[in-house]
Structure 1
Amino acid sequence: MKAVIYKKYGAPDVLELKEIDKPTPKDNEVLIKIFAATVTSGDVRLRSSDFPPLFWLPARLIFGLFKPKKKILGHEFSGIIEGKGRNATKFKIGDEVFGTTTMQNSGSYAEFTCLPEQWKHGVIDLKPTNLNFKEAAALPIGSMTALFLLEKAKISEGKNVLIYGASGSVGSYAVQVAKYFGASVTGVCGTSNINMIKSLGAVKVIDYKKEDYTLFNGKFDIVFDAVGKTTKSKAKKVLKKDGVFISVKMLTKEKREHLLRLKELAEKEKLKPFIDSCYQLEDIVSAHEYVDQGHKRGNVVIEISQ
């Protein structure tokens, strides 16, 4: 099968398309034919070993001190069940599924992967019926991160929420999730993304190229840093006295219950993945180069199989 591997940390050109053996599912695993994957911030960070100084050594000890332990990147996917082990009973052959690999065995930059049906580090479920494979692949991680952090901040109806970096993957989902809960959303993004953020449900958009959000004439219950590029000290300038600051730099937990709730929202058309661009697996280097520029809107998808 075709797969993209990396044997060393570095720029996008460390990614190589290779022919490797097709995996065989263990007793508790399913074999998934992958139709689509994405380029997440986690993929970029693992490829480049771009970890914060405080966490650099612990991260390298986990993921590989001198070279990557796991050779295939890709944290989210969609596809179909093509095979399964004798103890795997949750899915049927031919089921359309989506979820996260969380680099459990290997990632989703491959034509096939094997994953346990249920395990504590990742989630798989039937694909939302109204999403195509590209949209389904782009749903899990950004939306689960947004939901987890907003619930941590006790999102509820009537609250005023500011989302910094609203045009990225997590930010674009955070706008929609906050709106679903009945919050009033203000997004912060660049000039070219203002209409996009309004279309997702923001009632006001601050253009960071023209205005410093910390000088905004208003106070918020929640400030959500969706890109890890602002600080709590800055956010305090626009937070209410009992307001909450949350950031993608916080630890999050992927839970099946979150994915099921987000799948339900997607099927009710309350949540829609925003896809910036699509690349073929053969063009994975170009996809990573584009994401490295830091200007992607929503999600970048990798098409693997038809």
Structure 2
Amino acid sequence: MKAVVQDRYGPAEVLRVADVDRPTAGPGQVLVQVRAAGVDPGVWHLMTGLPYLLRLGYGLRRPRNQVPGLDLAGVVTAVGPGVTGFTPGDAVYGTGAGTFAAYAVAPADRLALKPGNLSYTEAAAVPVSGQTALTAVRDAARVRPGQRVLVIGAGGGVGTYAVQLARAAGAHVTGVCGPGKLDLVRALGATEVVDHTRADLPDQRYDVVIDTGGNRPLSRLRRVLTPSGTLVLVGGEASDGKWLQGFDRQLRALALSPFVGPRLVPLVAKESTANLTALTELIEAGQVRPVVDRTFPLAGVADAIRHVGNGHTTGKVVITL
């Protein structure tokens, strides 16, 4: 089968399309014929091997899994021993390993039936970013009706979902984004929008701040929180340090949180069938929709990852097969 492969860490030039063996579904796994696969900043990190800290889990000298890709949407081809709830022919979406390929294996407990009102391309834009935003809004921030929520990076992959999920929870949402994304963020449910090229952050206080941008110091973010507010840090892109990059901010927040009034929460996203099912219900009810920035063919994965790496995408980038 055709797949994108990389045998070393580095820039997008390390990626190439090659013929590889089709994987097989083991116990608890599902083999999916991939129709579309999402691209997110996590894929860029795994391609470059930066920060170095992540290599402890993914391979010190080279990627342990030579086929990149996490998000997928496609059709079940086979199920492994012990799998219930999925049968060949089912349209599914979720997360797996090596999804930039014609076929990929995914754990059954990280898949769900594809929302009926989404195409495969749209569905592939949901799993990683949608579940990250769901974990941030529902679990980490515990957003409640009437709260004031500030979403930084509101026009990005996670931010577009965070705005919609906070709005669906009954919050008053303010979105911070670039000038070309203001109308979109407003259409997604933000009551107020802020152009980050003209103003840093609003001179107001918020019950919840969800920062997907990763380039503001904790001291600045704390100043826009109410005394009992919650700051949720999604990822970290603020530093050029090769060992931790922006994740040093996550560690500082973890250490500081017990000693300050506001809650500082470094986000650990949760991927599960239950979370995907919760998103499916919201999507099919019309409360949440994916935003697809651009699509690329499998042979264009390097260009897709470069596009994501520049940090200016609107919503998600998707690979179509």
Q: Give the TM-score taking structure 1 as reference length.
A: 0.91
Residue 275 of structure 2 aligns to a residue whose secondary structure is: helix
The answer on whether the counterparts of 1:232 and 1:245 sit within 8 Å (CA) in structure 2 is: no
Q: Bigger shift: 162-171 or 249-258?
A: 249-258
Residue 31 of structure 1 aligns to a residue whose secondary structure is: strand
Q: Bigger shift: 125-134 or 89-98?
A: 89-98
Equivalent in the alignment of 1:149: 136
How far is the alpha carbon of 1:25 from its aligned partner? 2.3
CA deviation map 1:261-291 (0-9, x unaligned): 1111001011000000000001111111111
Equivalent in the alignment of 1:178: 166
Question: Structure 2: which 5+ runs fail to align?
Answer: 236-265
Q: Distance in 2 between matches of 1:111 and 1:157?
A: 43
1:4 is the counterpart of 2:4: yes
Identity of aligned residues (%): 36
1:76 is the counterpart of 2:48: no
1:205-284 to 2 correspondences below 5 Å: 205-213=193-201, 216-249=202-235, 250=266, 251-284=268-301
Q: Distance in 2 between matches of 1:256 and 1:230?
A: 33
Residue 62 of structure 1 aligns to a residue whose secondary structure is: helix
CA deviation map 1:159-189 (0-9, x unaligned): 0011111010110000000000010000001
1:294 is the counterpart of 2:280: no
Which letter maps to 2:313?
K
Distance 1:85 1:145, change over 3 A: closer
Equivalent in the alignment of 1:34: 34
Q: Bigger shift: 196-205 or 245-254?
A: 245-254
Residue of structure 1 aligned with 2:84, choices 70, 89, 93? 89
Q: Distance in 2 between matches of 1:281 and 1:164?
A: 31
Q: Distance in 2 between matches of 1:29 and 1:187?
A: 38
Which letter maps to 1:272?
R
Question: Structure 1: which 5+ runs fail to align?
Answer: none
Q: Distance in 2 between matches of 1:274 and 1:167?
A: 9
Q: Distance in 2 between matches of 1:261 and 1:207?
A: 31
Q: Give the TM-score taking structure 2 as reference length.
A: 0.87
Equivalent in the alignment of 2:186: 198
Aligned length: 289
Distance 1:238 1:88, change over 3 A: closer
How far is the alpha carbon of 1:202 from its aligned partner? 0.5
